[in-house]
Amino acid sequence: MRTTLHHKIKSPKTFKSQLLVWAQQFEDVVWLDSNPASNKDAQNYTNYDAVLAVHAFTSIQTDFYNGFEKLKEYQTSVNDWIFGYLTYDLKNDVEDLGSNNFDGLEFPDLYFFQPKKLFLFKDNEVEIQYLNCVDDEIKDDLKAICHCENEGRGNLSNAIKIKLRIHKDEYFEKIDKMLAHIHRGDIYEANFCQEFYAENTVINPLETYNKLNTISNPPFATFLKCDDKYLLSASPERYLKKKGNTIISQPIKGTAKRSDIIEEDEQLKNDLLSDEKERSENIMIVDLVRNDLSKTALKGSVKVEELCKIYTFDQVHQMISTISSKVDKNTHPVNIIKSTFPMGSMTGAPKISAMKIIEALEETKRGLYSGAVGYFTPTGDFDFNVVIRSILYNKTKKYISYSVGGAITAKSNSLKEYEECLVKAKAMRTVLEH
């Protein structure tokens, strides 16, 4: 079904840049970059240094209703590589919930495609897999890629005016309402998000992505193009991965800013590691993920591999835990995802109550933000990130959006939560305003 060619590359960095420029001609693009040089810790769990999928041969696009069942049918029938995304609002397919908040982006709830052309990077080699119907284009494509110029570093757009969907005083009021739910015992923790947006704005998506990726160098960077809609992501978080019969999830809870002064940076890292509130947030989500994984796990196979480990990225320190499980070989991969969706780090505990309260207090439909982007292999393995630290863009509507959030617990301080949101938003704001 696919023709495979192994191609040696002198400079992966140069070839990656050229490949992304070349990919812009297609309507369907998913680019996933692990940024291996900057993420040594994360490499323990990584399959590829980078992956590009372009040019849909078949695809599925649907709203949330029966979304997972439709994806299951599509993945089973195609039995090939498929790439795409799950929006947060597929929660409404998993539970009896709704999404009624404002949506300026209008991404379909679920989208996957089978690429005609696929590039898999590992070290100084790229494995090129083309469907047989286009395999006569490999050599010409390689020539074209090598002649692509890196895009210039001109202005991304005229001055972008970023607006707040929720103003500071209103944010404090909403956190107080969230805390009232916690004190009443409705929930223990919930992830509350707010949107920053710009209207009537035109950007160069590839240039914006390149700037964001250069600033952040995250392990789950993503450039996604679905016709006129774009995701430009500097995600540091893995949602869920399947390799053979092993599942891993790596929720993030706990963020600290970086410092240019080595001693101060080390102190910030140590402070995060010992921060009682951050640890309790993380451990609550670990318990939730363990419970989610147990729905499809073989008895006694759920394990916490890393608890509250500090990973350091270019912009921030993060507290990350790694939970694993084993599944029966006959368990359908889509069922594994559905049983854990949406991810605990973006919802709260108990999950259903948290999602109801989130929907009532937030002002924006989350859509692809706090959803997941990734792929399925022909053997049913998969790997998905969490869509955070991301710019979303609807080219036709000229609408740009990025959202940030934080976990609210009984120990939360409204001002500190607000300041943490600004730390998380820093890279996106810098890229868009400068």
Q: What residues act catalytically? A: 237, 253
> CA–CA separation, 106 vs 229, rounded Å?
9
Q: How far is CA 272 from CA 85, 86, 262, 266, 320, in A?
A: 32, 31, 15, 10, 11
**Alpha carbons 23 and 1: distance in angstroms, whole number:** 22
The burial class, CB within 10 Å (0-12 / 13-18 / 19+), for 49 is: buried
Pairing of strands 348-349, 372-376: unpaired
C-alpha atoms less than 13 angstroms from C-alpha of 108 in its C-beta half-sphere: 16
Q: For 247-312, give the secondary structure using H, E and C.
A: EEEECEEEEEECCCCHHHHHHHHHHHHHCHHHHHHHHHHHHHHHHHHHCCECCCCCEEEEEEEEEE
2's CB contacts (< 8 A; 6+ apart) are 80, 118, 129, 130, 131, 132, 135
| 143: exposed, middle or buried (Cβ count in 10 Å: 0-12, 13-18, 19+) | exposed
Q: For residue 168, list its beta bridge partners.
A: none
Contact in structure between 376 and 79 (CB atoms under 8 Å): no
Query: In this structure, is the dihedral angle defined by the CA atoms of residues 343, 345, 349 and 352, taken in order, positive or negative?
Result: negative
- Who's near 101: CB < 8 A, 6+ residues apart? 359, 362, 363, 364, 365
Q: Which helix (H) or strand (E) holds 116?
A: strand 110-122
Measured between alpha carbons, how far is 273 from 310 in angstroms, rounded to an integer?
Answer: 7
The torsion angles phi and psi of 101, rounded to 5 degrees, stand at -80, 165
412 touches 277 (CB < 8 A): yes
The 3-class SS string of 216-237 reads HCCCEEEEEEECCEEEEEEECC
388 secondary structure, DSSP code: -
